[in-house]
Structure 1
Amino acid sequence: MESTWLAQAKRLQALASTGLHFCTDDFERERLEEIAQIAHNMLAQLGHVPLERITGLVSDFAQRYSTPMIDVRGALIEGDQILLVREATDGCWALPGGYADIGLSAAENIVKELHEEAGLSVTARALYSVTHKAKGLYRPDVRDFYKLYFLCERTDQAAPMAGFETTDVGFFRLDELPPLSRGRTIESDLEAAFAFHRGDITQTLFD
């Protein structure tokens, strides 16, 4: 779970962003811009990154009502193993997925992601978890995310293969997991997928 200071800095940034989007008063805009600058500086210091990195991550700042981003992930289980892909960005492993694209439903997005990152054709069978990233044990992030996890099934028997954003793909047992890309996937995401697959859990998990 992220720290209180990180959560408050992100909230301050979101309020400034939404306020600037709707603001029509020049004096109020000046105050909101100062609040935004304070929030950006706080996030840069908390994340130990340059200020430019923070502003680059929120490229839509003040352009709309500030809301969480959507990350979709797909769990494909075969026997006692689950499919993971190795991320090109950090060399660690995660459930296939990524940002949800506009124009596609959440389920359509995960079907696309499985094909792009693992070379597999699947269907989304069930939504097993909806998680607020900030409340989980993920690597801290200055952005805010809702993470949607789908249980998937194959529609063909093609061999898995890495895509443009991945360097490897494979099936793993829960007790033999490779190093996880912890901003994307943590152990509890995989454990929940197996529990839903077995029928131990029958309703979507949420926080």
Structure 2
Amino acid sequence: MEDRWLTWAKQLQAIASTGLSFCKDEFDQERYGEIAHIANSMIAQLGTVPIERIEGLVSDFAKGYATPKVDVRGAVIEKDKILLVRERSDGCWTLPGGFADVGRSAAENVVKEIREEAGIAVSARSLYSVRHKAKQPYEPDARDFYKLFFICERTDLTAPSARGETTDVDFFPADRLPRLSRGRVVESDIEAAFAFQRGSLHTTIFD
């Protein structure tokens, strides 16, 4: 669960973004700009990072109504082991996935991400979890996310291979997981995938 102050700062940031996008009065624009600066300063202070970095993270600031970003992740389970990829950025492991691209459905996006990060072709079979990142034990993030997790199945026998943003790929049993990239995935996401695959979880988890 993210810090309450971070939640409030992100909400102020979203209000400022939407306000600047739609308001016409120059004084209101100035006020929303001040709110944005205060919100970004709060987030920078909480994360002990430069304010410029916070401002750079929100690429769609003041470009329409502020909404959460969408992250998709795919769980491929074979012989009681789950496919994970090692991220080049932090050297830790995660379910393959990433930002959802415009023009593709969520399922099409997760298929694309698994192909790009693990080198295999899959189909998305079930949506097993929808998480609000701020309400789960992920690493804190200046952005707001909905995280969609799919059970996927391979559609050919191509061997997995790391590529692009990943440096390694392998299958792991539930009781011997490597160090996870906790901004992307946590243990409960993987546990839920195994439970759904085995039939002990019958409905999609959501926040």
- Would you say same fold, with TM above 0.5? yes
Kindly state the Cα deviation for residue 177 of structure 1 after the two structures are TM-superposed: 0.7
Cα displacement string for residues 148-171 of structure 1 (whole angstroms, at most 9, x for unaligned residues)? 000000101111100111000000
Aligned equivalents of 1:185 and 1:12: distance in 2?
26
Aligned equivalents of 1:184 and 1:59: distance in 2?
19
Cα displacement string for residues 152-196 of structure 1 (whole angstroms, at most 9, x for unaligned residues)? 001011111001110000000111111000000100000000000
Aligned equivalents of 2:43 and 2:193: distance in 1?
33
Aligned equivalents of 1:111 and 1:33: distance in 2?
39
Aligned equivalents of 1:127 and 1:149: distance in 2?
6
Kindly state the Cα deviation for residue 80 of structure 1 after the two structures are TM-superposed: 1.4
Residue equivalent to 2:73: 73
User: Which consecutive residues of structure 1, in runs of 5 or more, have no partner in the other structure?
Assistant: none
Cα displacement string for residues 113-157 of structure 1 (whole angstroms, at most 9, x for unaligned residues)? 110000000000000000000000000001000000000001011
Kindly state the Cα deviation for residue 60 of structure 1 after the two structures are TM-superposed: 1.3
Residue equivalent to 1:112: 112
Amino acid at match of 2:57: L
Residue equivalent to 1:156: 156
* Aligned residue runs from structure 1 range 1-207, under 5 A: 1-207=1-207
Which structure 1 residue ranges, 4+ long, deviate > 6 Å from structure 2? none
Aligned equivalents of 1:84 and 1:28: distance in 2?
48
User: Which consecutive residues of structure 2, in runs of 5 or more, have no partner in the other structure?
Assistant: none
Tell me the secondary structure at the aligned position of residue 168 of structure 1: strand
Amino acid at match of 2:198: R
Percent sequence identity is 68
Aligned equivalents of 1:118 and 1:75: distance in 2?
12
Aligned equivalents of 1:167 and 1:56: distance in 2?
26
Aligned equivalents of 2:132 and 2:57: distance in 1?
18
Amino acid at match of 2:42: M
Aligned equivalents of 1:175 and 1:203: distance in 2?
23
Amino acid at match of 2:16: A
Aligned equivalents of 2:165 and 2:97: distance in 1?
10
Kindly state the Cα deviation for residue 203 of structure 1 after the two structures are TM-superposed: 1.1
TM-score (norm: length of structure 2) = 0.99
Aligned equivalents of 1:31 and 1:47: distance in 2?
24
Cα displacement string for residues 71-118 of structure 1 (whole angstroms, at most 9, x for unaligned residues)? 000000001110000000000000000000000000000100110000
Amino acid at match of 2:174: L
Aligned equivalents of 1:97 and 1:24: distance in 2?
39
- May I ask how many residue pairs the two structures share in their alignment? 207
Aligned equivalents of 2:186 and 2:174: distance in 1?
11
Aligned equivalents of 2:33 and 2:55: distance in 1?
13
Aligned equivalents of 1:174 and 1:199: distance in 2?
16
Kindly state the Cα deviation for residue 201 of structure 1 after the two structures are TM-superposed: 1.1
TM-score (norm: length of structure 1) = 0.99
Measured on the aligned residues, the alpha-carbon RMSD in Å equals: 0.5
